[in-house]
Amino acid sequence: MDMGRPRAFDTDQVIGAAAALFAARGYEGTSVDDLVTATGIHRGSLYKVFGSKRSLHLAALRNHLDREIHPAAAAVAALTDPEQALTAAIASYDNGPAAGLLLLAAAERAPHDPEVAALVAEGITALEDALGPAYGDAAPRLASTVLGARLRLRALPTAPEGALTWP
Amino acid sequence: MALISIDRERNLLTAEIQGLDKLWALKSRLEIPLAHVRGATHDPGIAREPKGIRVGGTHLPGVITAGRFRRHGERLFWDVKNPDKAVVIELADAETYDRLVVEVDDPRATVALIEQSIARR
């Protein structure tokens, strides 16, 4: 893989920085120049490690699912009170340092990229399953409500979760 | 300018260097097994970076970068006049080049073609 030179960066940190950038600017709106600047690693290393911007985006989405979406879903799944479960889901779903990455990927990339579509589906299924204990058969409908609420939160110019913080 | 196509029968990515670029790059055609293609990215900014050492070919800054270059221990093949249309094709270690940087007519379509071809594998 490498040519005897040790990697002078943390791959997880690079993926995290890229995820935050993709979440703030979208996939098309993020150039390789932006990624090089935000991650602080050489362009050559970026290509060597990830292969392409698309692969880096897929890694960012995978990371966001594992670090944010699934833990948030697990916390919601522990709530059986409908009101509490809904409030917690709206507050925590698709949140974190790359808040909105899933929503954006769903709107921008999933229709053209089956691998993105599969990851988005995984995230939405996790939300539906998490709302199961509180809502039973109505969980899918409530999941749509949560997604809609997250979209409306993102549309606010003063979104509190830091999604609009410019890197 | 290069014409990128996928030969699905032989599982190859081919890059045909067009016109006089063949002379500047000292190369007319590259064939890469699809299994050795790691990805493709539209990357206009790469042309602003130092090209490294020219091993074979032509480098007239701001006009054309074509041929074999070596930078940070990596071997790159360039064929770019217009950076706006530069596509980076990352290759596996087994290949002669680590990376191809080629100008194509429609970067978006070329990236989609390559990424779809390797995703389905």
Task: List pLDDT tens digits, range A35-44.
Answer: 999 999 999 9
Contact between B73 and A53 using a beta-carbon 8 Å cutoff: no
Q: What is the pLDDT of residue A166?
A: 46
* CATH fold of A11-155: Tetracycline Repressor; domain 2 (1.10.357)
Q: How many residues does chain B have?
A: 121
Q: Which of A67, A63, A18, A19 is nearest to A40 (CA)?
A: A18
Confidence class for position A1, pLDDT limits 50, 70, 90: very low
Is the minimum CB–CB distance between B121 and chain A shorter than 8 Å? no
Q: What is the pLDDT of residues A115-156, one digit of tens each?
A: 999 999 999 999 999 999 999 999 999 999 999 999 999 998
Helix A11-25 × helix A53-64 angle, to 10°: 90
**Rounded-to-5 percentages of helix, strand, coil across chain B:** 25, 45, 30
DSSP output for B72-114: TTEEEEEEES-GGGEEEEEE-TTSS-SEEEEE-S-HHHHHHHH
The span from the CA of B8 to the CA of B68, in Å, is: 27
Residue B45 has its nearest CB partner, among A33, A54, A112, at: A33
Q: Is the pLDDT of residue A2 over 50?
A: no
Contact A32, A53 (CB under 8 A): yes
Q: What is the pLDDT of residue A159?
A: 54
Q: What's the longest Cα–Cα distance across chain B?
A: 39
Residue A47 has its nearest CB partner, among B44, B73, B88, at: B88
Q: Is the pLDDT of residue A7 over 80?
A: no
Contact between A31 and B43 using a beta-carbon 8 Å cutoff: yes
> In terms of C-beta density within 10 A (0-12 exposed, 13-18 middle, 19 or more buried), how is residue B94 classed?
exposed
Parse chain A into domains and list their residue ranges.
11-155
Predicted TM-score of the model (pTM): 0.91
Local structure of residue B45 (DSSP, 8 states): G
What is chain B's alpha carbon radius of gyration, rounded to the nearest angstrom? 13
Identify the three-state secondary structure at position A158.
Answer: coil
ipTM: 0.94
Q: Which residue has the tokens 């970026």?
A: A46
Query: Mean pLDDT in chain B?
Result: 94
Q: What is the pLDDT of residue A158?
A: 66
The span from the CA of B39 to the CA of A56, in Å, is: 10
Query: Which residues on A lie below 8 Å from B101 (Cβ)?
Result: none
> Could you give the domains of chain B?
2-119 (2.30.29)
Contact between B39 and A43 using a beta-carbon 8 Å cutoff: no
Mean pLDDT of A3-8: 56
Residue A52 has its nearest CB partner, among B46, B90, B98, at: B90
Q: Is the pLDDT of residue A8 over 80?
A: no
Query: Which residues on A lie below 8 Å from B45 (Cβ)?
Result: 31-33, 36, 43
Confidence class for position A167, pLDDT limits 50, 70, 90: very low
Token pair, residue B23, equals: 């002379």
Q: Select the residue from A5, A54, A113, A116 to test the B interface by mutation, using most B Cβ atoms within 10 A.
A: A54
Q: What is the pLDDT of residues B22-75, one digit of tens each?
A: 888 888 999 999 999 999 999 999 999 999 999 999 999 989 999 999 999 999
Count of Cβ atoms closer than 10 Å to residue A33 Cβ: 15
Query: Mean pLDDT in chain A?
Result: 92
Residue A54 has its nearest CB partner, among B39, B49, B98, at: B39
Q: Is the pLDDT of residue A31 over 60?
A: yes
Q: Is the pLDDT of residue B120 over 80?
A: no
The span from the CA of B79 to the CA of A28, in Å, is: 24
The span from the CA of A18 to the CA of A12, in Å, is: 10
